[in-house]
Amino acid sequence: MKIYFTRHGETEWNSRNIICGRTDIELSVKGHLQAKALADRLSAEHNDIDMIVCSPMKRARDTAGYAAAALGIEPVYDDRLREWDYGSFEGKPRDTEGFLENKLEFGCRMAGGGESVFDLVNRVYGLIDELCEKYPDKNILLVCHGGVCRVIETYFRDMTREEFANFFMGNCELKWGEK
């Protein structure tokens, strides 16, 4: 079983380096082009994908739409792939004081009522475990968000706190792990 995962295409907030968690923002023109290029790559190089599971947020849904059309697979939406709730950091520049530190306090929720890393890991690992149990013979594409991709990476590869803090997944970058 292979679990492919990708981050949605670029949004205006991504291009401006703004923290975008639960704000349901659309893809930019560039994001649509990235999603189309990803779909072309999937169709040409990774047509072993049997199932697409996607965050219900617009930017991920639109990205998944291109992949679905290219692969002939109807996506399934799952709330557990929604982006990390960054609390009061939402909509602020990524270099906002305290953001990186707050992100690394695994057991503490983000300031202003957001999620902790443990909250995020619980829901994302739960989904992956469930998919592995229900579909052990399927290759699955997860279409989600940067914070969620960081957690998916830890499912397949141990990371130090420093590696976790510095992990970055580009828009429409594709990674995978095997179970």
Query: pTM, whole model, 2 decimals?
Result: 0.96
- Average pLDDT of the chain to the nearest whole number: 96
171 in Cβ contact with 36 (< 8 Å): no
Checking phi first, is residue 51 left (phi over 0); if not, alpha (psi -120 to 50) or beta?
beta
pLDDT digits (tens, 9 = 90+) for 111-165: 999 999 999 999 999 999 999 999 999 999 999 999 999 999 999 999 998 899 8
- The strand pair at 140-144 and 51-54 is best described as parallel
At 103 the pLDDT is 86
Q: Which residue has the tokens 């594709």?
A: 174
Candidate list 26, 46, 83, 178, residue with the active-site label: 83
Cβ density class 32-58: b for 16+ within 10 Å, e for less: bebbbebbeebbeebeebebbbbbebe
Is 26 noted as a catalytic residue in this protein?
A: no
Is 101 noted as a catalytic residue in this protein?
A: no
pLDDT digits (tens, 9 = 90+) for 40-62: 999 999 989 999 999 999 999 99
Domains of the chain: 2-178 (3.40.50.1240)
